[in-house]
Amino acid sequence: MATEKIGLLKKIEKIEGDITTPKGFYAGGLHCGVKRKRLDLGWIYSDVPANAAAVYTTNLFQAAPILVTKESIQVSKSIQGVIVNSGNANACTGEEGYKNALQMRAAFAKKVHVPEEFIAVSSTGVIGEQLPMEKIITGIECIGNKKESSAANFEKAILTTDTVQKRCCVQLDIGGKKVTIAGAAKGSGMIEPNMATMLAFITTDAQVEQEALQTALKTVTDQTFNMITIDGDSSTNDMVLLLANGLAGNDELTEKHPDWYHFLQGLKTVCQTLAMQIASDGEGATKLVEACVTGAASEDDAKKITKAIIGSNLVKTAVFGTDPNWGRIIAAIGYSGAKLSNYDIHIFIGPFQVLQNGSPILFDEEQAKIYLQENDNVQIFVQLQEGNGSAIGWGCDLTYDYVKINASYRT
C-alpha cells in the first residue's frame, strides 16, 4: 500500500480498489452488439443522488451525450446513474443523435427507477454514425440487479483502442471519517485534452458541496488530464464526471473546510494516476514521456513549454528511436510561446545533463541511449531562470503502430 504524505500528519493511501469501493456505488458492463465481440455498454449507479461535477471537451462539435449530460447536471446538480456505450461516439449525428442520447437516458432512468435528470450519458467510438438503438435499449433492459456490481466489466465496456483498463483508488481521513475516492478511465488516441478522446468517471463517498465540487474538479483537471497529450487531436465526446454521494458521513466539504486541501490532494492523486495511465497507453506507444519544467516566468508559461515538449512529434520519435537529441527539446521550448528573457537553460534527459546555461555540454551519449532503451518512463527536465512557474506533463513516444492503428481505424 503506497502512502503519500501531505504535510506532517495527513496521508493519502493508494489501495487496491475501484469505482465501487466508495460506499454506495455499483457498476457493471455487458456486450449489447455495438462492437462485434467485446463489452460495449457500461453503467454506474449510486444508492442516493450524488452531487455532480463535470468538465467537457473544448471541441466545438460536442457530441449529443455531452449535451444531454450537461442538461441533467444543470437541472438536478446531482447524478444517480451513468450509462456509457463504446464503439460509437454518437457525434455529428444531428437531431436524431440528440434524440437517441435522450432515449438512452430515459431507458436507463426507467431501469434503475430514478428521474431522467439524475442520469448522465456518455458515448465513445466512431464519429458520424447513428447509434444502433435497438441493440442499446435491449442491452439496457438486460442489465440485471443494479446492485450486482462488476467494476472490471465497466472498465472493459468503456474501452476503444485501449490495451489496458485504467483505475485508481485512494483513502484519506476527512474530519475523522474515512473517505474513499476512486476512478476509471479510457483513452488511447485523439488525446490532447482540454479534453480529448478520453472519459474519466470518478466516485467518492465524501460529502462535498456541489459548487465546491465543480471548483475542485476544474482545478485538478487543469493539473492532470489537461497536462497529457498523445497526438494533438481533440475529440468531440470527452468528459470527466465526478460524483460525491456523501455516504462517508463527513461534515460537508467546502473551500473553507480545514480538510479541503487534503481532499483536493486525494482527488489529484486519482486524476494524475489515471492521466499517466492514459498517456502510457497511447496508441502504439512503448514509453511514457514525462516532462518537468521549473523556473518559468509563470505557471502558464511552464505549461506551454511542457505541452510543447511532450507534444512534439520530433521529440516523440526521438524517444522511440532512443536518440538523446536535445536539439528537438530546445526547439520545442522556443516555439512554445512562453516568455524567455534569457537563455540560461538547463536540460536533462533522465540523469544526463545535455545543456547547461544554454550551451551544450559533453555527456555520455551511449549511456543516454541505453537509458532511453531500458526505461519505460522517460523523464525530461527543463530548468529555466525566469521565475517560479513550474509544471509537469505526460505523453508517449510515436511509433509505427500508431500509424497502423489509425490508418485502419474504421476499416
197 an active-site residue? Answer: yes
Q: What angle do CA 238, 244, 250 make, to 5 degrees?
A: 155
d(CA 249, CA 204): 12
Tell me if 182 sits within 8 A of 270, measured CB to CB. Answer: yes
What distance in Å separates the CA atoms of residue 266 and residue 257, rounded to the nearest whole number? 15
Q: What's the CA gap between 61 and 116, in Å, rounded?
A: 24
Interior angle at CA 26, CA 21 and CA 31, nearest 5:
125
Please count the CA atoms within 13 angstroms of the CA of 296 that sit on its side-chain side.
24
Take residue 30 and report the three cell numbers written for it.
Answer: 455487458
- Of 20, 160, 197, 203, catalytic: 197
| 100-138 exposure pattern, b = at least 16 Cβ within 10 A, e = fewer | bbbbbbebbbebbebebbbbbbbbbbebebebbeebbbe
Catalytic residues: 197
